[in-house]
Amino acid sequence: MTTMTVPERRVTPATAVRNTLTLAWRNLVQIKHNPMELIDLSIQPIMFVLLFAYVFGPAMSGSVAAYLPILIPGIIVQNALFATMTTGVGLNVDVTKGVFDRLRSLPIARTAPLAGRIIADVVRQAWSMAILLAVGMLIGFRIQTSALALIPAFGLLLAFALLLSWASVFIGLSVSEPEKVQVFGFVVIFPLTFLSNAFIPLSNNYPAWIHNIMEYNPVSQIANAIRGLLIGHDVAGHSQPVIGPAINALLWGVAIAAIFIPLSLRAYKRRV
């Protein structure tokens, strides 16, 4: 028996963009068929805000209101980092269940399934960020600069998360089970978040090596930039610059993306 191979069809850039947006919409629409995704996007952020605010707030800052300027920017950053893991989990599920094999038989751009998943997850992240900010404002958080600062704050955080998501893409395309992507999240992102000033002020009481990690940590940099945009001061109450931390955070993101984009594309070609 002989087999025929169908030559790969080339598509125009406009068609590739259209394919990508179509598959991004497909990934978003499936939320209505899997309500658990909506719970993860909505209920979990609310739970984290309330627990951190009312359990740690009085101990850390004396009151919930005093802790919110520290907490809300930090927890928005933490949530964005953990949300990048959904990209790797979703890609792994699609690959292992043969969804990509079915899409490959269609006359679409080969990178459209990958790009579509990433774009859909960026939209999910924007939703989670909005939920966190809304809950924070309901319990007393206030933007002390300008409401217009929300635009660059959201844009900066989404760009940072998008760059970091390539690490999740690589893990998701490299491991055999979705659970292993989540293990990576807890092993790397969890300590990275807590070895930062996302939830506590940077103090000289720490050992020098921990202090240096916390100071130059990309999570600290992006948290400082978000605080500068939304509050105008750092966790100690001093004026917080925005440009420097924002550039540092994006440089971290670009460096991570520069490493993992080629690795991800190679893993993608190998898997599909």
Q: What does the pLDDT read at residue 237?
A: 64
Which residues are bridge partners to 233 per DSSP?
Answer: 239
Longest dimension (CA), the chain: 77
* Residue 82 pLDDT: 85
Domain ranges of the chain: 15-271
One digit per residue, the tens of pLDDT, for the chain of length 272 reads 444 444 445 668 788 888 888 888 888 887 777 767 777 777 888 888 999 999 988 988 888 988 998 899 999 998 888 888 888 888 888 888 877 777 777 777 777 888 888 888 888 888 888 899 999 999 999 998 888 999 999 999 999 999 998 999 999 888 888 888 888 777 888 888 888 988 888 877 888 888 888 888 999 999 999 999 999 876 666 677 788 999 999 999 999 999 999 998 888 888 76
Task: Return d(Cα 266, Cα 118) in angstroms, integer.
Answer: 17
Q: State pLDDT tens for residues 185-212.
A: 778 888 888 889 888 888 778 888 888 8
* pLDDT tens digits along 42-91: 788 888 899 999 998 898 888 898 899 889 999 999 888 888 888 888 88
Separation of alpha carbons 46 and 67, rounded Å: 16
Buried b (16+ CB within 10 A) or exposed e, 49-88: beebbeebbeebbeebeebbbbbbbbbbbbbbbbbbbbbb
Q: What is the pLDDT of residue 3?
A: 42
